[in-house]
Amino acid sequence: MYAKGDPRAATVRGGGKSFDPIRPTEYFEFHKMDPTSTTSAGSRTWLVRGENFVLSYSEQTAGDALTRESQPHEYVVILPREDTAVEITSEHGEGTLEGPGVAIVPAGRSAVTPVGDSQVLRLFDRRTEDLLPLCANADVRAEPDVRVTPLEPWPDPVGGPRLRLYPLGDVPKVEGRFGRMIRSSSFLVNLMYPSGERDATRLSPHHHDDFEQLSITMQGTSLHHMRTPWGPDATQWREDEHHETEAPAATIIPPPVIHTGQAVAAPYQNIDVFSPPRLDFSSREGWILNADDYPMPSEELAAVEAESA
């Protein structure tokens, strides 16, 4: 990477963003943090945010509802564990989601009520502005990360707003398909299959040019290996990180940090989240399990069809 004014800089992909500071990786181990809120029934909720999203992690007591009175846009509910269920009511339908699974809840008033004591994850995009200042990292997120592509939601779902339930417990592993992916207009969620410890000789270090990755550890312990690329300003260079997080935990990985995760305590379960949805994953035949419900933007779809022709 070259400094501004160096004639070689014009040959580098990425343009002006390559000169902007790289945001540090953020790690959150929820049981080592004070919850954002606690109810009289004993339920606890933690809120953290990235550039385009808010993650809500709740340890919810049976019958204690998580409500949104006037939610401006649809949001995502994730039940990571087997033998759990939530009853969801909304202005556009109601139903029961059994874990592991994902629900997409339409705008307006809604409630998510666990049948038994449950871990419940919710994802709100950044347009849910009332939640932004409540996040544990709201202060460090006061300034936008210019390296992250701003959220432009993908098209609305086919058939208009309604509650959509996607139980994933019976979805079999398929050779060549990566996890279990569900897409909304603002999110792509990959609910990974539980696994054992990861072979240290078969890791997958990689980076993303212009989007964050939210990695949620729901079982086990993850060792996050992080390498921040060097820029022209040596005062911003960082040592490699090898950060261990114990479930329940979340890690927000900024672009273009080189990263890979290694499960070091089993059983291990991880959920990856991207906002907006990833085009490369969406372009793979059969990877998005609800692709018929949530179409790609027309220009992206045309590009994919042209490439496959």
Q: In this structure, how many other beta carbons lie within 10 angstroms of the beta carbon of residue 171?
A: 16
Strand partners, 288: 181
What's the CA gap between 228 and 226, in Å, rounded?
7
Cα angle for residues 167, 170, 171 (degrees, 5° grid): 85
Locate the domains of the chain by residue range: 7-292
User: Per residue of the chain (309 residues), what is the pLDDT tens digit?
Assistant: 434 554 334 434 444 466 789 999 999 999 999 999 999 999 999 999 999 999 999 999 999 999 999 999 999 999 999 999 999 999 999 999 999 999 999 999 999 999 999 999 999 999 999 999 999 999 999 999 999 999 999 999 999 999 999 999 999 999 999 999 999 999 999 999 999 999 999 999 999 999 999 999 999 999 999 999 998 889 999 999 999 999 999 999 999 999 999 999 999 999 999 999 999 999 999 999 999 999 999 876 656 555 655
CA neighbor of 44 nearest in space, from 67, 61, 62? 61
- For 254-288, the pLDDT digits (tens) are 999 999 999 999 999 999 999 999 999 999 999 99
Fold classification of 7-292 (topology level):
Jelly Rolls (2.60.120)
Q: What is the pLDDT of residues 71-95, one digit of tens each?
A: 999 999 999 999 999 999 999 999 9
Residues 20 and 8: their CA atoms lie apart, in Å, by: 17
* DSSP codes, 264-281: EEEEEEEEEEESS--HHH
Measured CA distances, 279 to 235, 283, 307 (Å): 35, 6, 13
User: What CA–CA distances, in Å, run from 303 to 236, 275, 296, 297?
Assistant: 37, 20, 11, 10
